[in-house]
Chains A and B, each alone.
Chain A
Amino acid sequence: MRFSYRSAVVVALAITALLITPLTPRTAHATMAQRLSMAELVEQADHIATVTVLDATPRYDARGRIVTDMRLRVDEALHGCVAGDELMMVTFGGVIGDLGMRISGEPSFSAGERFLLFGRAWEGLVRPVGMSQGTLPIRDPGTNQIPLVGPGGQGLTFPDEDHGAHDESHSAEAPRALDGVLQEVRQLLRQ
């Protein structure tokens, strides 16, 4: 049986589709919110920094929700806070005893994890801008390799304001080099 060039192209396309599909980003959980561009994240943030989670402590708030106080160490400050500062970021959700609570779209991190924070000041605490859109996880792929910044917005549904076309300027659709993202943020801060 002979395969033509065209058949080979078609089969190659099909195989490529099968291969790349599992590599495309996927998010988890609910919530419908407005999608924020990197410029909007910068504009709405009182603090922008790469941070490391020192510890995370869940508690009930006055409204009866489970919230988690995350103590963050500022590693590299770009706006607002100073390197070496400690920030207390509050996120919704957590586990206390036999009860857990999750709010879709809220970020969740464990001690030792790093992320690029776009935070707004709120009653002496910090809230991430646009829920998980304001926390871009930093992945260290290994020694002698550039750290990557993953997309923010885990757990969010973004209705685009331009009626259909996805906003390509969004902070990150796929992991990007940390240096490049920080450079983009600095440029936006200068504007």
Chain B
Amino acid sequence: MRKLGFIGRLPWRWALCFALLTYANSAAAWCQMRTGEDESEEGRCEVEGELMAWPSYCLSYSLNDADSESMTLDEIRPIVARSFDNWRGISCGDDDFPLSIREDAPRMCAMESHDTSGPNVHTIAFTSEWPENYDQNAYAITVVWFNPRSGAILDADMLINERRGPYGVCPLRGCQPDANGVTTVDLENVITHEIGHFFGLAHSQFNFATMHAFSPAGETDKRSVSSDDVEGICTIYPPMASPVCEPDPRNGLGEECRAQGGCQATLGTDLGGLGLFWVLVGWGWVRRHRTRD
């Protein structure tokens, strides 16, 4: 009781402590991605290489045109839009969120790719064809393509691992495990975090940041962009009177994605179509032979 009395009599001191802690955490807790290949030293942002950022203040993205295993494209679309809106809703001082985001029509692009000589797609795709050599435990990865000399981001692709689902919409308090012990992963939580990387933000040390590295299953906290994230994005993209605005991907928006060298690369969707094709061919062959017999 004596302790409570002590606290009760000293609210301003505890408020000061809290303010200092918050300030200490939020001050430069955010980090910006860099082109450097060396591991970061513990306790610091990476220091090697150029800082990575989009040269244009207008960006675009396209969803892959296929449903996911746990959600339809029509269900995914508004969640992704809300995830971008979580960032759009912030302001940089007296200015609005500096970036303009355009959603393009879905494309046949279920993989990470960049073509230096042809059109590209900034894709957001669910994939059940999770590459064997990726970490099977990963929920999502963000691939960023960049110019190593300037740090300019050229392309970014977000892949979500179907095998780590199911994905869905959790109530604001988060998802709890069901009777089978399976916890739905809140898609908006994952994508809001990944969008930060799409913009060029790295992880933050601030516990309550969207860009914080740790996240319990079923969490929804990262939907709310924190002051630390705001400071990061507003520093990387300071409000400008007339910024460069070229939302199209490098060399234009492609109908599908092609890997470097022009090799068509539409795994997932195409494999499904190809599979159906061979099933039909096989069915036709069996029917033909049965008729002959």
Contact = CB atoms under 8 A, between A and B. Distances in A.
Contacts of B43: 22-26
B217 to A, nearest CB: 5
A81 B25 CA distance: 43
Interface in A7-63: 7, 10, 13-14, 17-18, 21-34, 36, 56, 60, 63
Interface residues of A, number: 67
Interface residues of B, number: 78
A10 B218 contact: no
Given A21-B24, A64-B265, A131-B135, A26 B205 contact: yes
A29 B202 contact: yes
B131 A33 contact: no
Contacts of B242: none
A87 interface: no
B286 interface: no
B263 A166 contact: no
A63 B44 CA distance: 33
B148 interface: yes
Interface of B is mostly: loop
A163 B140 contact: no
Contact of A163 (B42, B138, B146, B216): B216
B42 A175 contact: yes
B291 interface: no
Nearest to B137: A34
B293 interface: no
B127 interface: no
A32 B216 contact: no
Interface of A is mostly: loop
A110 B38 contact: yes
Interface string B266-279: 01000000000000
B38 A108 contact: yes
B55 to A, nearest CB: 14
Interface in B213-270: 213-219, 258-261, 263, 265, 267
A168 interface: no
B217 A122 contact: no
Given A99-B145, A107-B39, A33 B139 contact: yes
A137 B40 CA distance: 10
Contact of A127 (B16, B27, B133): B133
B147 to A, nearest CB: 6
A100 B35 CA distance: 8
A159 B138 contact: no
Nearest to A153: B213
A161 to B, nearest CB: 6
Contacts of A107: 39
Contacts of B261: 60, 64
Nearest to B21: A17
Interface in B137-172: 137-149, 154, 164
Question: Taking each of B39, B141, B202, which has the highest tally of chain A beta carbons within 10 Å of its own beta carbon?
Answer: B39
Nearest to B186: A159
B290 interface: no
B141 A159 contact: no
Contact of B40 (A24, A28, A110, A130): A28
Contacts of B138: 31-34, 105, 131
A190 interface: no
Question: Taking each of A34, A101, A102, which has the highest tally of chain B beta carbons within 10 Å of its own beta carbon?
Answer: A102
Contact of A109 (B39, B116, B260): B39
Contacts of B177: 163
Interface stretch (A71-79, A90-98, A177-185): A90-98
Given A31-B138, A63-B267, 15 more contacts: A10-B17, A14-B20, A24-B43, A25-B42, A27-B203, A28-B34, A63-B265, A64-B114, A65-B143, A100-B148, A103-B112, A107-B39, A159-B185, A159-B217, A175-B42
Closest 3 CB pairs of A and B: A64-B259, A30-B197, A34-B137
26 contacts: A6-B10, A14-B17, A14-B21, A17-B17, A17-B20, A21-B27, A22-B43, A26-B31, A26-B205, A27-B213, A30-B142, A30-B193, A30-B202, A31-B141, A32-B193, A32-B215, A65-B259, A98-B149, A99-B260, A104-B197, A109-B39, A150-B39, A157-B203, A160-B215, A160-B216, A163-B183
